[in-house]
C-alpha cells in the first residue's frame, strides 16, 4: 500500500501523482482538439455537423459534472479516476475508429463526460492534500500545467498525423489517457489529523445530491452566477479571436501564432495568480481577470491588423492566466466539510454551462447583428461577471461548514 501523504508536504511532492497527470491529459486533449471537426468533415459531415460534434465535448462535460460529484463521493478519487479513464478510453477509441459522424460524436461526448470525472477527482484530491494556505497556488499550478499540455499537444499531434493521417491526434489522446490514468491510479493515500488544514472533507454524510444543492442554493445562485459568466468570457475567446482574424484578412498561420502567444502568456501567469490568491485573497484576481477580459473583447472590433490583434490576444491570455485556478479555488473554499464532491460537481456545472454558452452566444449575436457586436456583448458579460465577483467573493476564504 502506498505511503501516507502528510498534510503539510510541499507542492513538489504532488508533481507525479497530480500535476504531471494533468499535463499529460492536457497533451491528449490538445492533440485531438484541432482534429475533431476535420474528422467529422472527412466522414462526410457538413460544416454545421462538424460544429455540432465539437460542441458535444462541452455538452458531455456539462452532463457529467453532477454525476461526477456523486461518483467521487461514493467511491473516492482513485476509483473515480479509474472509472473516468475507462470511459475516456472507450470514447477516444470510438473517435479513432469511427466510420460515421454519429459514432464520432458519441466518442467525443463520452470523452467530455470522462473529463468531468477526471477533473473533479483531481481537484478533490489536491484540495485534501495541501494546507489551506497553499490551496490557490496548488490548484492554479495544476490548471496551468493542464494548459501547458494543451498548448504542446497540437505539435505532438501534428507529428503523428503526418505519419498516420487525421486520426493520429486521437491516437496521441489514447496514449495520454492511459498514461495519465496510470499515474493518478497510484495516488498516495491521504491521512490527516481531524483538524489538519487541507484534511477536511473526507467524511461522508450520505446526503443526496439534491439536499446538497438545496442547502447551498444561495451560493450557487450568486457566486455560481459569477462562475458561469467567467466561463462564458473564457470560452468565447476561442471563438471570437480566430473569427475576427479571418474577418480582417489574416491567414491561418498568423492566427495560430497570435493564439500561441496568448496561450504562452496564459500559462506563464497561472502560478503567480495562485500565489496572489493565497496571499491577498481571491476577490482581486477574480475581478481583475474579468475586467481584462471585458477590455479585450471591447477592444477587439477596433483592431485591423496582426499587431493590434496581437495586443488583444495577449490581453485575453492575461485574463485567462489570472483566472486559472480561480473557479476551482472558490469552489473548494465554499464546499461543505462533509459533502465536498457533490457540491463541487454542482459548482463546476455552473462554470461549464458558461463555457458551453459563451461560443453559442457569439454565434447567435453574430448571426443577428455582426461579429463586432458579439465581441462587445461578451465584453458586457465579462463586466457583469466582474461586478458579481466583486459583490459575492468573500474578502477571506470562509471556513467550510457542514450541510
- Pick from 83-92, 119-128, 282-291, 390-399: least confident: 390-399
* Cα–Cα distance measured from residue 385 to residue 291, given in angstroms and rounded to the nearest whole number: 9
* Cα–Cα distance measured from residue 247 to residue 373, given in angstroms and rounded to the nearest whole number: 13
* Cα–Cα distance measured from residue 124 to residue 312, given in angstroms and rounded to the nearest whole number: 34
pLDDT tens digit sequence for 178-218:
999 998 877 777 655 433 444 444 445 556 778 888 888 99
Q: Quick one: pLDDT band at residue 230, thresholds 50, 70, 90?
A: very high
- Pick from 3-7, 151-155, 233-237, 285-289: least confident: 3-7
Angle at which helix 135-164 crosses helix 252-280, to 10 degrees, equals 160
- Which residue blocks in 76-100 are alpha helix, DSSP H? 77-97
55 with 181, same domain: the answer is yes
Angle at which helix 283-299 crosses helix 217-247, to 10 degrees, equals 30
179 with 308, same domain: the answer is no
76 with 23, same domain: the answer is yes
Out of 161, 188, 215, a domain closes at 188
230 with 96, same domain: the answer is no
Q: Quick one: pLDDT band at residue 299, thresholds 50, 70, 90?
A: very high
Q: Quick one: pLDDT band at residue 93, thresholds 50, 70, 90?
A: very high
* Cα–Cα distance measured from residue 125 to residue 190, given in angstroms and rounded to the nearest whole number: 9
Domain count of the fold of the chain: 2
Asked if residue 194 is part of any domain, the answer here is no
Average of pLDDT values for 103-128?
A: 92
Residues 6+ apart with CB under 8 A from 194: none
Asked if residue 159 is part of any domain, the answer here is yes
243 with 303, same domain: the answer is yes
171 with 43, same domain: the answer is yes
What pLDDT is stored for residue 61 in this prediction? 92
63 with 170, same domain: the answer is yes
What pLDDT is stored for residue 111 in this prediction? 96
181 with 309, same domain: the answer is no
What pLDDT is stored for residue 315 in this prediction? 96
Give the CATH number of the domain where residue 365 resides: 1.20.1250.20
For a pLDDT cut of 90, what percent of the chain falls above it?
A: 49
Domain containing residue 177: 7-188
pLDDT tens digit sequence for 331-365:
999 998 788 889 999 999 999 999 888 888 888 88
Asked if residue 60 is part of any domain, the answer here is yes
What pLDDT is stored for residue 242 in this prediction? 82
Amino acid at each position: 500500500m502506498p505511503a501516507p501523504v502528510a498534510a503539510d508536504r510541499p507542492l513538489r511532492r504532488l508533481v507525479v501523482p497530480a500535476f504531471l497527470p494533468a499535463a499529460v491529459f492536457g497533451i491528449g486533449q490538445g492533440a485531438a482538439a484541432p482534429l475533431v471537426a476535420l474528422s467529422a468533415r472527412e466522414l462526410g459531415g457538413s460544416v454545421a455537423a462538424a460544429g455540432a460534434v465539437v460542441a458535444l465535448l462541452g455538452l458531455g462535460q456539462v452532463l457529467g459534472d453532477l454525476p461526477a460529484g456523486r461518483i467521487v463521493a461514493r467511491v473516492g478519487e482513485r476509483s473515480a479516476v479509474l472509472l473516468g479513464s475507462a470511459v475516456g478510453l472507450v470514447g477516444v477509441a470510438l473517435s479513432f475508429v469511427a466510420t460515421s459522424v454519429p459514432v464520432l460524436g458519441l466518442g467525443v461526448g463520452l470523452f467530455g463526460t470522462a473529463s468531468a470525472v477526471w477533473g473533479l477527482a483531481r481537484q478533490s484530491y489536491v484540495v485534501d492534500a495541501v494546507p489551506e494556505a497553499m490551496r490557490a497556488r496548488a490548484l492554479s499550478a495544476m490548471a496551468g500545467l493542464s494548459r501547458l499540455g494543451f498548448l504542446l499537444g497540437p505539435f505532438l499531434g501534428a507529428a503523428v498525423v503526418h505519419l498516420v493521417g487525421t486520426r493520429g491526434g486521437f491516437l496521441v489522446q489514447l496514449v495520454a489517457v492511459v498514461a495519465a490514468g496510470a499515474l493518478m491510479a497510484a495516488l498516495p493515500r491521504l491521512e490527516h489529523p481531524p483538524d489538519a488544514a487541507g484534511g477536511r472533507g473526507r467524511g461522508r454524510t450520505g446526503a443526496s445530491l439534491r439536499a446538497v444543492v438545496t442547502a447551498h442554493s444561495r451560493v450557487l445562485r450568486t457566486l455560481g452566477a459569477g462562475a458561469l459568466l467567467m466561463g462564458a468570457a473564457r470560452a468565447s475567446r476561442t471563438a471570437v479571436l480566430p473569427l475576427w482574424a479571418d474577418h480582417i484578412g489574416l491567414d491561418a498561420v498568423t492566427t495560430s501564432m497570435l493564439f500561441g502567444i496568448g496561450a504562452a502568456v496564459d500559462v506563464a501567469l497561472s502560478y503567480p495568480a495562485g500565489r496572489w490568491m493565497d496571499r491577498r485573497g481571491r476577490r482581486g484576481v477574480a475581478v481583475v481577470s474579468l475586467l481584462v477580459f471585458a477590455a479585450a473583447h471591447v477592444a477587439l472590433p477596433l483592431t485591423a491588423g496582426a499587431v493590434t490583434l496581437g495586443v488583444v490576444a495577449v490581453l485575453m491570455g492575461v485574463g485567462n492566466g489570472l483566472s486559472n485556478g480561480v473557479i476551482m479555488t472558490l469552489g473548494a473554499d465554499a464546499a461543505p466539510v462533509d459533502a465536498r464532491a457533490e457540491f463541487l460537481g454542482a459548482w463546476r456545472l455552473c462554470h461549464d454551462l458558461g463555457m458551453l454558452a459563451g461560443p453559442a452566444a457569439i454565434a447567435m449575436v453574430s448571426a443577428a447583428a455582426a461579429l463586432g457586436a458579439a465581441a462587445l456583448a461578451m465584453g458586457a458579460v465579462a463586466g457583469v461577471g466582474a461586478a458579481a465577483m466583486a459583490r459575492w467573493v468573500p474578502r477571506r476564504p470562509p471556513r467550510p461548514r457542514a450541510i
